């Protein structure tokens, strides 16, 4: 074991600042030599730490010194063979995974409730998605994991697939039997790629779910900034085994990464790794206890129900991340979107996201009991105003069927564009992704067909306080202009068959 108490990159940064360097390189603020409003907020030290320092702080795209050592420490702490620091979020790690492992038209098996970055990776790599439908929680109106059997069936049915892609955990904390699935996929000569954005704390606590590396997955992209304590935008890409080479990942990252990475983000990764390696077990025990305390107290408040492990396991989930705080509305006369807004506007409490009948909170390594108590008190006050017995909630506002994909995302992305009104887009093939953010799971992706249900869902979300992300800010959407598409003959038969069966 290496000395996990070390922070080689942080130490090198401190030495560089202490050296009193006279800067003639970028960034141009030259270690805080300007006075700005932002500097008044964050102070001198943050500016002094924001340096380029090619001599002394190593090179992210070809590390040989302190960054190399820091990444080796990260790999060991995460039980991986290799770790790559990411300074453009886990999205960049997911895209790099797909670029490193897929050629154009290679098949990859993945759940349809994947993050937008996966679709971007398919556009760039040219990979062909084989989607499997996640299991749906009708009470919470959220998608969980596909079942293990669904994954295995897709693997057997698509023996030419190059890889499988797994979200572990989901945004709401659902965990798959990744050990079993990884063994099965490897037996069928498929790579296992994992979106572990919300599982940076996995593997640092004996009582929590297994991490992707503990399950022998080939690659995993991990958002240390989400639940591990590093700065926003800092993540890691982890590799295990020899099915994917160091060089393929490095080449993919060199396409995506900036050549001017932030020293603040890199140092925060080095520091967060040390914290989790040394104090993770103790801290995460406390965090899980906090989450259990929060659920217990919220369940005493009329109109709210905090769903935890018992609920998810009863809904077929293999394991659960106990740090997620899923608050369900029960006889409250406003929506989850309105609760989310109220908590921020009136109580200065920022939740992670909302759905129609659910509000999600993330309890992580920096959470404190007084923050939990503040949330509990706010929910009590909201309950006193909006709780009403006997409320009958409207029928679930959308169909759970995902739209049919007729084209590879890359093919649709490069096809000619036609802009039409959303309400006139029925049976048109989308050229864009439309989603609410967070969580960033697309309602429709390039290559899928607009259905009545998808149009209704988009219109529904636009009427709420949710942030709807799309290419255009008006009431139009981008679709494939079939009449002016030279490549149409290659796809015409399948498109015509779809239209014939969906008049």
pLDDT in tens, 225-284: 999 999 999 999 999 999 999 999 999 999 999 999 999 999 999 999 999 999 999 999
Question: Is 233 in contact with 215 (CB distance < 8 Å)?
Answer: no
Rg of the chain, C-alpha, whole Å: 24
Residue that the structure tokens 């909170």 belong to: 361
Hey, which residues does 307 pair with through a beta bridge? 326
Task: Please give the Cα distance from 224 to 76 (Å, whole number).
Answer: 15
Task: Please give the Cα distance from 346 to 128 (Å, whole number).
Answer: 46
Q: What is the average pLDDT score of the chain?
A: 95
pLDDT (0 to 100) of residue 150:
97
Question: Is 299 in contact with 380 (CB distance < 8 Å)?
Answer: no
Hey, which residues does 222 pair with through a beta bridge? 196, 236
Q: Could you list the beta-strand ranges (E) of 265-402.
A: 304-307, 319-320, 324-329, 353-354, 358-362
pLDDT (0 to 100) of residue 130:
97
Question: Is 259 in contact with 128 (CB distance < 8 Å)?
Answer: no
> Which tokens sit at 117?
């970055």
The H or E element containing residue 219 is: strand 219-222
Render pLDDT for 180-204 as a digit per residue (tens, 0 to 9): 999 999 999 999 999 999 999 999 9
pLDDT (0 to 100) of residue 396:
52
> Which tokens sit at 299?
């369940």
Task: Please give the Cα distance from 175 to 162 (Å, whole number).
Answer: 23
Residue that the structure tokens 């420490």 belong to: 73
Hey, which residues does 195 pair with through a beta bridge? 167, 221
Tell me whether residue 484 is exposed, middle or buried, using C-beta atoms within 10 angstroms of its C-beta: 0 to 12, 13 to 18, 19 or more: exposed
Query: Which runs of consecutive H residues, i.e. helices, occur in 193-238?
Result: 224-227
Q: Could you list the beta-strand ranges (E) of 60-213.
A: 82-86, 107-111, 128-132, 136-137, 142-143, 163-167, 174-175, 191-196
Backbone φ and ψ for 208, nearest 5 degrees, come out as -95, 175
Q: How big is the CA angle at 172 (ends 131 and 461), to the nearest 5 degrees?
A: 75
Query: What Cα–Cα distance (Å) separates residue 72 from each residue in 20, 239, 253?
Result: 29, 11, 17
pLDDT (0 to 100) of residue 501:
86
Quick one: DSSP state of residue 429? B
User: pTM score, two decimals?
Assistant: 0.95
pLDDT (0 to 100) of residue 1:
64
Residue that the structure tokens 């890889």 belong to: 163
pLDDT (0 to 100) of residue 207:
85
Task: Please give the Cα distance from 196 to 176 (Å, whole number).
Answer: 12
| Residue 439 preceded by cis peptide, ω within 30 | yes
In the predicted model, residues of the chain with pLDDT beneath 50 are: 398
Task: Please give the Cα distance from 255 to 258 (Å, whole number).
Answer: 8
* Closest listed residue to residue 53, CA positions, set 85, 15, 88: 15
Question: Is 460 in contact with 398 (CB distance < 8 Å)?
Answer: yes
Tell me whether residue 93 is exposed, middle or buried, using C-beta atoms within 10 angstroms of its C-beta: 0 to 12, 13 to 18, 19 or more: buried
The residues, ordered by sequence, that sit 6+ positions from 173 with a Cβ below 8 Å of its Cβ are 198, 312, 320, 321, 322, 323, 324, 326
pLDDT (0 to 100) of residue 261:
95
């Amino acid at each position: 074991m290496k000395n996990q108490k070390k922070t080689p990159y942080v130490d090198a940064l401190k030495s560089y600042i202490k050296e009193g360097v006279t800067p003639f390189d970028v960034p141009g603020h030259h270690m805080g030599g300007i006075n700005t409003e932002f500097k008044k907020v964050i102070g001198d030290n943050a500016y002094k730490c924001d340096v380029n320092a090619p001599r002394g702080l190593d090179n992210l795209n070809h590390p040989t010194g302190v960054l190399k050592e820091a990444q080796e420490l990260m790999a060991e702490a995460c039980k991986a063979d290799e770790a790559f620091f990411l300074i453009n979020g886990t999205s960049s790690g997911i895209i790099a995974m797909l670029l490193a492992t897929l050629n154009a038209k290679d098949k990859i098996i993945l759940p349809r409730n994947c993050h937008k970055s996966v679709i971007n990776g398919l556009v760039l790599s040219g990979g062909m998605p084989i989607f499997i439908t996640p299991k749906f929680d009708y009470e919470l109106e959220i998608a969980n994991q596909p079942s293990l059997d669904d994954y295995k069936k897709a693997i057997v049915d698509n023996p030419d697939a190059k890889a499988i892609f797994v979200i572990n955990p989901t945004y709401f904390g659902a965990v798959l039997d990744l050990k079993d699935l990884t063994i099965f996929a490897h037996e069928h000569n498929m790579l296992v790629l994992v979106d572990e954005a919300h599982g940076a704390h996995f593997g640092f606590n004996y009582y929590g779910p297994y991490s992707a590396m503990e399950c022998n997955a080939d690659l995993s992209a991990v958002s240390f900034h989400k639940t591990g304590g590093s700065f926003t935008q800092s993540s890691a890409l982890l590799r295990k085994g020899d099915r994917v080479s160091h060089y393929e990942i490095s080449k993919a990252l060199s396409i995506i990464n900036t050549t001017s990475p932030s020293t603040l983000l890199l140092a925060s990764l080095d520091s967060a790794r040390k914290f989790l390696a040394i104090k993770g077990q103790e801290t995460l025990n406390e965090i899980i206890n906090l989450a259990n305390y929060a659920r217990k107290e919220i369940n005493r408040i009329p109109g709210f129900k905090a769903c935890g492990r018992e609920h998810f396991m009863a809904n077929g989930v293999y394991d659960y991340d106990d740090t997620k705080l899923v608050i369900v509305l029960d006889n409250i006369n406003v929506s989850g979107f309105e609760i989310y807004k109220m908590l921020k506007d009136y109580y200065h409490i920022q939740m992670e996201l909302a759905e129609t009948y659910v509000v999600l909170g993330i309890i992580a390594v920096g959470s404190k009991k007084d923050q939990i108590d503040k949330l509990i008190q706010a929910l009590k006050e909201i309950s006193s105003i909006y709780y009403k017995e006997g409320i009958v909630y409207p029928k679930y506002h959308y169909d759970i069927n995902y739209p049919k994909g007729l084209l590879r995302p890359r093919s649709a992305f490069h096809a000619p564009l036609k802009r039409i009104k959303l309400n006139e887009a029925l049976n048109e093939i989308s050229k864009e992704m439309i989603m609410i953010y967070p969580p960033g799971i697309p309602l429709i992706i390039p290559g899928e067909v607009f259905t009545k249900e998808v149009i209704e869902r988009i219109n529904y979300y636009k009427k709420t306080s949710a942030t709807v992300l799309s290419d255009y800010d008006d009431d139009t959407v981008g679709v494939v202009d079939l009449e002016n598409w030279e490549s149409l003959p290659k796809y015409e038969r399948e498109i015509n068959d779809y239209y014939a069966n969906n008049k």
